[in-house]
Structure 1
Amino acid sequence: MNKEKKILMGFRDVYNKMVWLNKDKMEASLKGYTSSEVHCVEYIGKNTDPNVTKLAEFFYMTRGAMSKMTKKLIQKGLIESYQKSDNKKEIYYRLTELGKTIFQIHEDLHQEFQERDKAVFDQLTKEQFDSMLRFVEQYSRHLDAEIKKLDKEMKSE
């Protein structure tokens, strides 16, 4: 098996293990909410003036699918919509008190998981961190370019 395949398989394996380890605690603590809903709440909680377009772009979803998601989150009482006084056309979202609670539970769980895994990261040198970060950023830029290419192809059809 070549090195590229080993790295990609390693990424998948690590990701799948993290998901498996975190799943039960996440589901118990955030009962009644899907992973997609919680991650949407997380995005809204961390970003200024999020709207359907920004959400759709971030989650690689259509605006229609994201619109359905925001309606569901409004119905569940996690978010509310608002408009700016200088722009009555655009609709933005913010967390309600319940949404802030869910956001905080999720953040606390991530902090707990990060503490659990801290021993591994504490062993890394600055050079190892920097090298891995450079790789992840480079690979991410490559994937962004591929997504843009695919998007252009789909729009031209």
Structure 2
Amino acid sequence: MNAYETINDILVHLFNEIWELEEKAIITEEFKDISNNDMHIIEAVGLGSDSTMSMVARKLGITAGSLTTSVNSLVNKKYLVRERSESDRRVVYVRLTEKGRKAFFHHKDYHMQMTDAVVKSLDADEIPVLLKTLNSLSEFFRGYETKK
């Protein structure tokens, strides 16, 4: 296999492996009542207190309506709380509960371990090459929809 074919093979399999392994790693006995998608909603809500449904939906690239069903479930499971703005009742804030914060840090720790596994295998002069490569890949994905 030449370098081009090898890179293609790695990229195709890497995305699937990351998704599958992440789910196995982060959906532990403690967090068995939520999905990988739920964990990413928790991540998008973050640690602040000013996340609105609209802001979270934008971060995730989905509609607020699509987000509502998942947020309802996470509220029922006590990972999130929902509060209406006092000044504008149309605005709905979501924030993590203590249980949600534990899930957030659990997920963040997995990502840190994943990043550490990559970075520790590189020399200092290789890190800029990896950053350039990953930025190029990220730009491709961000621009892909606009090319259609």
TM range (shorter): 0.7 to 0.9
Letter aligned with residue 145 of structure 2: I
Give the SS at the match of 1:82: strand
Shift of 1:69: 1.1
Give the SS at the match of 1:94: strand
For 2:33 and 2:126, the matched residues in 1 are separated by 40
For 2:22 and 2:64, the matched residues in 1 are separated by 29
Letter aligned with residue 147 of structure 1: E
Contact 1:22 1:113 in 2 (8 A): no
For 2:75 and 2:147, the matched residues in 1 are separated by 34
Letter aligned with residue 12 of structure 1: V
1:146 aligns with 2:147: no
Report the equivalent of 1:153. none
Which range moved further: 34-43 or 46-55? 46-55
Contact 2:78 2:99 in 1 (8 A): yes
What is the CA deviation profile of residues 54-112 of structure 1, one whole-angstrom value per residue up to 9, with x for unaligned ones?
A: 32233232322111111111111111122444444321211012211222333344445
For 2:44 and 2:135, the matched residues in 1 are separated by 20
Q: Among 124, 131, 134, which residue is 1:126 paired with?
A: 124
Report the equivalent of 2:28. 28
For 1:75 and 1:149, the matched residues in 2 are separated by 40
Alignment of 1:66-105 (within 5 A): 66-105=67-106
Report the equivalent of 2:6. 6
How many residues align? The count is: 147
TM-score (norm 1): 0.72
Give the SS at the match of 2:104: helix
Could you list the runs of 4 or more consecutive aligned residues of structure 1 that deviate by over 6 angstroms after TM superposition?
A: none
RMSD: 2.9
What is the CA deviation profile of residues 112-135 of structure 1, one whole-angstrom value per residue up to 9, with x for unaligned ones?
A: 5556x3xx5323123321112112
Give the SS at the match of 1:127: coil
Go from structure 1 to structure 2 and tell me whether the alpha carbon gap of 1:32 and 1:48 turns closer, same or farther (over 3 Å shift).
same
Go from structure 1 to structure 2 and tell me whether the alpha carbon gap of 1:37 and 1:20 turns closer, same or farther (over 3 Å shift).
closer
Give the SS at the match of 1:10: helix
Give unmatched runs, 5+ long, in structure 1: 151-157
Where is the helix percentage greater, Structure 1 or Structure 2? 1
